[in-house]
Chain A
Amino acid sequence: MKRNAKELEGAHRKLSRRALLLGGLQLGFAGGLAARMRYLQVDQADQFRLLAEENRINIRLLAPARGEIFDRNGQTLAHNSPSYRIIIVPEDAGDVGEVIAKLSRLITLDPEDVERALVEMRRSPPFLPITLADQLNWEDISKVAVNAPALPGITPEVGLTRIYPQLDDFAHVVGYVGPVSDYDLSKLDRPDPILRIPRFQIGKVGFEAKREDVLRGTAGAKRVEVNATGRVMRELDRKEGQAGADMQLTVDADLQNYVQARLGKESAAVVIVDCESGDLRALASAPSFDPNLFVRGISVADYRMLTDDPYRPLANKTVQGTYPPGSTFKMVTVMAALEDGLIGPEDTVYCPGHLEVSGRRFHCWKRAGHGHVDLNTSLKQSCDVYYYDLAIKVGIDKISAMANRLGLGMRHDLPMSAVASGLAPNREWKSRVRGQDWLVGDTVNASIGQGFILASPLQLAVMTARLATGRSIAPRLVKSIDGVEQPSGAGESLGLNENNLRMVRRGMYSVSNDRRGTGYRSRIIAEGMRMGGKSGTSQVRNITAAERAAGVIRNEDLPWDRRDHALYVCFAPFDNPKFAVSVIVEHGGGGSKAAAPIARDVMLQALYDGTPPLAAYPKGDRSRIKAQQERLERERLQRGGSQDSDQA
């Protein structure tokens, strides 16, 4: 094709023009890119730098070690043991189902755990770690660690779990911990972030819950660098948490163990108070349960079994349970009368077996009556009419005030769940709460610890200790926190007349040591160890006139839950009281028969700090006691054995 030069020249100029135009456009666009780069990198640098740091740095809380709990001799009641678990972060795992399937080829997963984890996953945001398997052994955890690259989102972790080596013995005193629940969080206003650590354990019940503040400690934190899949690349820095404080309780684990064993299958409670310091040496509530079951999360079947049991193993009867104290309350009535100067030790009351009060007939437990009764006999034989008469003279307000002085009807401040305050009613209480006037019949009922009066085994033990010492003994459960000794509960003098106290104590001595005393059969004969006691039998039903006419039905013939409660309180040694004990056997029948033998046995165990010599028992009892000691020893050994295997 032929071209003329001019035309070519024109085309070339046009090309140059357009090339420059296009070049200019390109330059302009590049300028725009540079401006955008400047905007992102200079103007907004701080914001993006922050985002990059947020991408990269994760703050992980470090759970502190929970404070451990020991008995007064340093035996462990609660400690922490390493537990290996596997956590999964659903977001990092991607296909959760596949990862779990892979994992289950490596180790055996509990289908229940997996199901629970899946439910938890649906409820929580995908970046929150969720525990997939807990309490794994070292071998399994190593398998997972080795295969970690093939298991995205899965991290093996070592944590601490709570162990209660004393099993059933301290379930009620120490309580137990468990994983934080949504309910726990909802109760808190601004929950400590530490509670969000997966499987973090907090005190749920008992001492563990009440002293959560000291036991928990404070969380540490580590900053880690993570990559896009959430895997930790390295640790940047770490601040260790503060472990919780170790606690020493006043309870003696060996004694507690004996008491629990002695109570056996009864529905019963025993409290042993140190008369010198107020230390609670044993607080036993039977039947009990293994708190370790609750640490991991108890199965529905196990829990149902505990709640359906009529003997209420979950209830802590020592401090939560309140009962009509029955005749054990008589010391209060008589002390009120003595302090008021209304009676002397020689004053007698005639007991025909009943007393007519404003048209109503109040019976003595002995239908035939006790005849002429003085103070000592009234306690020894537990004559009811004597106290009816006394109470009408003294009036309920003074009795109620005396009950308060002796530690009844008031809440003792103990770090345990649901410590009951009991009830020592007066006129004001009845009109306020019931909107009714106090009747003289109420006073008569109260005089023998029936009617409105309610007391817990703890309160009865404190009452006994206060009678035995004349001081306002306060129960103490915590001996030391982190090695710091807690204030003693020895208390000041109650300001009661020492002569009056002596008369009441003599009466209690007669109960246990006089041939006609209600507690005679459960006496201690070792010199210097003799005890003063008082039995009590509290009705849980009304006996109608018709029944009384036909003959009161014997306890043995009643269904279990309609039988009387059996109570016994005592202190020993009589001359220099060291321990006060209260025993209640729910629906156990007569106090002297069901509760007194237990009281004597645990008292001797406490006095001798171990198995007492048979010589301390009356001759006739020794062979039976020997057999019982051997049986208990066997049972304790067996349990000790199974306990070891549990821990292994």
Chain B
Amino acid sequence: MSYLEYHAKSTPTGLRKILYLNWPLTLLLASVAGVGFLMLYSVAGGSFSPWAEPQFKRFLLGMCVMLVVAMVPIWFWRNISVLAYLMSIVLLLAVEFFGTIGMGAQRWIDLGFMRLQPSELMKITLVMLLAAYYDWLPAERSSRPIWVLVPVLMILFPTFLVLRQPDLGTSILLLAAGGGVMFLAGVHWGYFAAVIAAGVGLVTAVFQSRGTDWQLLKNYQYRRIDTFLDPSQDPLGAGYHITQSKIALGSGGWSGRGYMQGTQSRLNFLPEKHTDFIFTTLAEEFGFIGGFTLLSLYILIIVFCVATALAAKDRFSSLVTLGVAITFFLFFAVNMSMVMGLAPVVGVPLPLVSYGGSAMLVLLAAFGLVQSANIHRPR
């Protein structure tokens, strides 16, 4: 069923839309953000500044953005997705030329009132574009090579731009989320199998080539991989982040050391304690119980998204909702794997908890799309 076939009467209109908002999802998002405020307050040594307060303001702004996005009919978003995608590409290119250097990487454009990270925007517009593409493409064509190549290019182009910044974490996210949407849209599993097989082959080749004269990576890159695989090799250098992070997590135990009692974060042993490594503080202060609770909240958000997607009557709504869910999942899965020493340290924040404006606004806007799909579902 396409949006053209909706009966205008069967979808809520006006202020009645608010009643159809997915309230449990909204509440879940707010509680996750609440955990974030709590932790930001703690890592600042029991202070609202410099992190908790701005984060709260951004969250309020983000909620407004979400509501606005939710109120706008989902078909509007479908119609402008190509435009949104192109705008994101333009912004990415702009960063390439006019961006500001921050944290050793070129990532944002200073708009005056806020710093815009086009790569964050890209995550959501890519999902929108792919959803719109598969909404438009007849299902029986979706596995044909030419129609597979088009979305692959849509994914690879921004990925390449983001990788150049360099931002490995976001590139992986774009790649995985894009691939996820393609998989959901019904592209033949053979393609995925081929890509995975090729990936495994490449990794094997990289390791096999080490020390030979056709070595694929530079020596320092191998050393990074070594450190990732066994951080104890270099506990004060490259492995420091992972080692300290694991210590913080481990020392939390079952129930944690108590709020604001985490020594690892309070004494600055943890790097990036307010951004990428904020989960370690949570785990140190609230223990396994705290960490598991947050993980459960995340999973519930995913469950609600999947439920919304399954209930949706059109492909765009389903795909965009699931795409947002995948992006969200990738955020916390990569971040948590990273702090638990299961994945290399790539710059991926803990969604809605880590300090950072762009990511929060973009994520809430994305959930606005999910809400919009829910509201504008014909009933």
List A residues at the B interface (Cβ < 8 Å): 1, 3, 7-8, 10-12, 14-16, 18-20, 22-23, 26-27, 29-30, 33-34, 36-38, 40-42, 44-45, 47-49, 51-53, 55-56, 225-229, 233
Which one of B92-100, B136-144, B198-206, B368-376 is at the A interface? B136-144
B277 contacts partner chain A, Cβ-Cβ < 8 Å: no
Q: Which of A30, A45, A56 contacts B267 (CB 8 A)?
A: A56
Q: Beyond A18-B186, A49-B250, list 8 extra A-B contacts (CB 8 Å).
A: A8-B1, A15-B184, A19-B309, A22-B184, A27-B302, A34-B292, A41-B283, A45-B253
Chain B's closest residue to A233 (CB) is: B267
- Tell me the dominant secondary structure on chain A's binding face: helix
Query: How far, in angstroms, from A37 to B267 measured CA to CA in the complex?
Result: 23
Contact A49 B269, beta carbon cutoff 8 Å = no
8 Å CB contacts to A: which residues of B154-197? 180, 183-186
Query: How far, in angstroms, from A12 to B310 measured CA to CA in the complex?
Result: 9
Q: How far is the CB of A604 from chain B (nearest CB, A)?
A: 70
Contacting residues, chain A, for B244 (C-beta < 8 A): 55
Chain A's closest residue to B309 (CB) is: A19
Contacting residues, chain B, for A36 (C-beta < 8 A): 340, 342
A15 and B288 in contact (CB under 8 A), knowing A42-B253, A48-B249, A52-B248? no
A37 and B186 in contact (CB under 8 A), knowing A19-B309, A42-B254, A48-B250? no
Contact B186 A41, beta carbon cutoff 8 Å = no
Query: How far, in angstroms, from A149 to B358 measured CA to CA in the complex?
Result: 33
Contact B268 A228, beta carbon cutoff 8 Å = yes
Contacting residues, chain A, for B254 (C-beta < 8 A): 41-42, 45
Contact A51 B322, beta carbon cutoff 8 Å = no
Contact A23 B186, beta carbon cutoff 8 Å = no
Contacting residues, chain B, for A225 (C-beta < 8 A): 263, 267
Contacting residues, chain A, for B253 (C-beta < 8 A): 41-42, 45, 49
A41 and B288 in contact (CB under 8 A), knowing A34-B295, A52-B264? yes
Query: How far, in angstroms, from A44 to B249 measured CA to CA in the complex?
Result: 10
Contacting residues, chain B, for A33 (C-beta < 8 A): 295, 333, 336-337, 340, 342
Q: Which of A23, A38, A42, A51 contacts B306 (CB 8 A)?
A: A23
A40 and B139 in contact (CB under 8 A), knowing A18-B184, A19-B306, A33-B340? no
24 A-B Cβ contacts within 8 A? A12-B318, A14-B139, A14-B186, A15-B185, A18-B184, A18-B186, A22-B184, A23-B303, A26-B302, A26-B329, A33-B336, A33-B337, A37-B292, A41-B250, A44-B250, A48-B246, A48-B248, A49-B253, A51-B247, A55-B264, A225-B267, A226-B267, A227-B269, A229-B268
B30 contacts partner chain A, Cβ-Cβ < 8 Å: no
List B residues at the A interface (Cβ < 8 Å): 1-2, 136, 138-140, 180, 183-186, 244, 246-254, 263-264, 267-269, 283, 287-288, 291-292, 295, 298-299, 302-303, 306, 309-310, 315, 318-319, 322, 326, 329, 333, 336-337, 340, 342
Query: How far, in angstroms, from A53 to B315 measured CA to CA in the complex?
Result: 54
Q: How far is the CB of B131 from chain A (nearest CB, A)?
A: 11
Contact A19 B1, beta carbon cutoff 8 Å = no
Contacting residues, chain A, for B2 (C-beta < 8 A): 3
Q: How far is the CB of B332 from chain A (nearest CB, A)?
A: 9
Contact A18 B183, beta carbon cutoff 8 Å = yes
A56 and B263 in contact (CB under 8 A), knowing A15-B315, A19-B184? yes
Contact A227 B267, beta carbon cutoff 8 Å = yes
Chain A's closest residue to B267 (CB) is: A227
Contacting residues, chain A, for B248 (C-beta < 8 A): 48, 52
Query: How far, in angstroms, from A41 to B244 measured CA to CA in the complex?
Result: 14
Contact A42 B186, beta carbon cutoff 8 Å = no
Contacting residues, chain A, for B295 (C-beta < 8 A): 30, 33-34, 37
Query: How far, in angstroms, from A233 to B64 measured CA to CA in the complex?
Result: 42
Contact A15 B186, beta carbon cutoff 8 Å = yes
Contacting residues, chain B, for A56 (C-beta < 8 A): 263-264, 267, 269
Q: Which of B267, B287, B337 contacts A55 (CB 8 A)?
A: B267
Could you say which of A33, A37, A56 has the most chain B C-beta atoms within 10 Å of its C-beta? A37
